[in-house]
Chains A and B, each alone.
Chain A
Amino acid sequence: MLTVSGLTTEFRTRVSGVRAIEDISFEVPQGVAVGLVGETGSGKSVTIRSILGLLPVSGHVVGGRADFDGVDLLRANRKQLRDIRGRRIGFVAQNPFGSLNPILSIEKQFANVIRAHRKASRAEIRALALARLESVQVRGPERVLRGYAHELSGGMAQRVVIALAMLHDPPLVIADEPTTALDVTVQRQILDLIDAQVSEGNRSLLLVTHDLGVVAQYCRRVVVMKSGHVVESGAVADVFTSPEHPYTKQLLAAVPPAPWSSAAKEVTGA
């Protein structure tokens, strides 16, 4: 579905170029969820933004390929990219408020995303937006549609951005820490929803997260990054049970124990 190879990106300052990521290679196969984990500042967001053509002006891809649907995204022109983003690849950015427009109502933003790729009446837009907001567990979706970004809680904004990214049912979803502001019950419901579509084989997912529980339960493959490099990748079942790279070992060992696990046992009668 998506094949990234040798991806290298630099940020140019007045004085010099700083290499943020180097020689990044991984695959997101059809119908598979891939977790992208690693140190903060290791280059996860830069990797995604390079692939999607969303780097700031100081950022430059200096090498590699990212093949999707027979197109090398790194060499695609703006029009091609704009057509692919939203319709073929849904993107959930790390900062939800940054991807919402503060001066447009949420309903208007749904309309813009829908109309970017097809014609739709107001009633149609409204019905679709309401249904999608409900599917991501937003309470009072009518109120949310009428309102503006600043009236949303952190987790509501995240869910609005997820709903927007999935509006055109894109076959690939790339999500950068999409559930950090969600409580675990809502997080679970949303991941279950995406997981069902992935399991049916009609969606692939590239998911950046610091939550190793999410990777263990929802991803089949995992890519581990440190200091701008991929240090390990493979099937989650293998990497999590017998990590090879010292950083992966350290990462897995640093997970704090769940303080309530004894209570969970008691409740389940185990």
Chain B
Amino acid sequence: MTTSEAPMPNLMELTGIRQVFRRGGKEVHAVNGVSVSVAPGETLAVIGESGSGKSTLGRVALGLITPSAGTVTFDGTVLGDLSKKDLRALRSRMQVVFQEPYESLNPRIRVGDIVEEPLIIHRSGLSKAQRREKVVAMLERVGLTAEHAERYPRNLSGGQQQRIGIARAIITEPELVVLDEPTSSLDVSVRARVLDLLRDLQREQGISYIFISHDLATVGLISDRVAVMYLGQVVEQGPTAEVLTNPKHPYTRALLSATLSTVVGEKREHVPLRGEIPNPSAAPTVCVLSGRCPIEIDECSTGPVAHRRVGDRHDVACLRVDRVDRLLPVEAG
């Protein structure tokens, strides 16, 4: 495929999204002008700082919250233009795996019923027996058994609860799934199995995923493109292989270099961020990393920083991209 080819129409487009939470006269600018898109059958990973607005962006994409500004387009339809009824119909084509598995499972109903529920709502043609069969098959695909179906969520381990959330989300064969930290409580081998399942479903059914994660190795395995968030903004986005092996934003470098080696005694060198962590009480008007960036110059804190293209679909919001390769990590510890 060449870059001159017409791009595939996107399944989901988020344009200029802002989300401000207000309470008691105080504001939290959770998302500040984010634009990302997902093509059919594509996986967009969203990584970045804790508290940078990833989960909020996921909720906006699903129409669970109406953003303060910006538009969400799903399959050509602008969510904000829809009536409640039409929005509900459209939302049935999307599913979500929430970040907190236990909090998102109804504690009063059995696991089998939790996984079956979306089938009752969205696949009304199926008989009770057919639904049960699908539920058990799905539980097995995520590494659980029919026995787990009889339990209540609180009687499962954290990783078992997490897989119930995944099973519930994918059982109706949706077109888009937002997965928020879906594998954080899984050991490496079960995690690999769940990622295989997600990839198989994507190949079979062309599902698109928005995959929010702090686990950069997982992101490297599952995603086609990555968006890196910091303080409510996307500071870098591009093809996964590009961003993870040739990061161009100082924050992305700091993030990637902070991952821990599994080799005992091997202290990886890492790019340090200095200074105070900023507070999202006001929308930033200058580079979000200014004050913490090891290679900033005066211009970085005088005005907003536009995204610039540094490679094939690879965009970075940094005035110092030419210098980022000189950003030397320091010895840890």
State the A residues within 8 Å of B (CB). Answer: 11, 37-41, 44-45, 56, 58, 94-98, 137, 139-140, 143, 146-147, 151, 153-156, 159, 176-177, 180-188, 210-214, 216-217, 236-237, 240-241, 250-252, 254-260, 262-264, 267-269
Contact = CB atoms under 8 A, between A and B. Distances in A.
Given A143-B281, A213-B261, A40 B55 contact: no
A182 B48 CA distance: 9
Interface core residue of A143, A146, A185 (most chain B CB under 10 Å): A185
Given A143-B279, A267-B329, A183 B49 contact: yes
Interface in B21-61: 21, 23-24, 26, 28, 47-51, 54-55
Given A153-B50, A154-B181, A40 B160 contact: yes
A185 B260 CA distance: 10
B154 interface: yes
A185 B160 contact: no
Given A139-B280, A216-B264, A259 B220 contact: yes
Contact of B260 (A184, A254, A259): A184
B245 interface: yes
Contact of A268 (B244, B262, B278, B329): B329
A252 B328 contact: no
Interface stretch (B183-191, B200-208, B296-304): B183-191
Contact of A212 (B24, B214, B262, B268): B262
Nearest to A96: B100
21 contacts: A41-B156, A45-B157, A94-B185, A140-B281, A143-B281, A154-B50, A154-B180, A181-B181, A185-B255, A213-B259, A214-B260, A216-B260, A217-B264, A240-B262, A240-B263, A251-B188, A259-B244, A259-B245, A260-B256, A264-B257, A267-B325
A181 B214 contact: yes
A45 B156 CA distance: 10
Interface of B: 21, 23-24, 26, 28, 47-51, 54-55, 99-103, 154-160, 180-181, 184-192, 214, 216-218, 220-221, 240-241, 244-247, 253-271, 273, 277-281, 325, 327-329
Contacts of B281: 140, 143
Given A151-B21, A212-B188, A262-B245, A185 B262 contact: no
Nearest to A264: B257
B260 A213 contact: yes
Contacts of A216: 260-264, 266
A38 B187 CA distance: 7
Contact of B267 (A217, A240, A257): A217
Contacts of B262: 212-213, 216, 240, 252, 255
Given A96-B100, A260-B244, 12 more contacts: A39-B190, A41-B157, A58-B155, A139-B278, A143-B26, A153-B50, A153-B54, A176-B158, A184-B258, A216-B263, A237-B264, A250-B189
B273 A180 contact: no
Given A264-B257, A264-B268, A254 B102 contact: no
Nearest to A235: B264
A268 B326 CA distance: 9
A251 B262 CA distance: 12
A39 B180 CA distance: 21
Contacts of A264: 256-257, 268-269, 329
Contacts of A95: 100-103, 158
A237 B265 contact: yes
A153 B49 CA distance: 11
A256 B260 contact: no
A256 B50 contact: no
Nearest to A269: B328
A183 B255 contact: yes
Contacts of B49: 183, 185-186
Nearest to A192: B333
B256 A263 contact: yes
B229 to A, nearest CB: 10
A86 B99 CA distance: 27
Given A143-B28, A146-B24, A268 B328 contact: yes
B139 to A, nearest CB: 13
A163 to B, nearest CB: 14
Given A45-B158, A155-B50, A137 B264 contact: no
Nearest to B54: A153
A44 B158 CA distance: 10
A143 B28 CA distance: 9
Contacts of A56: 154-155
A39 B55 contact: no
A183 B158 contact: no
A125 B241 CA distance: 48
A38 B190 CA distance: 11
A7 to B, nearest CB: 17
Nearest to A102: B103
Contacts of A236: 264
Nearest to B273: A185
Contacts of B102: 95, 97-98
A182 B214 CA distance: 7
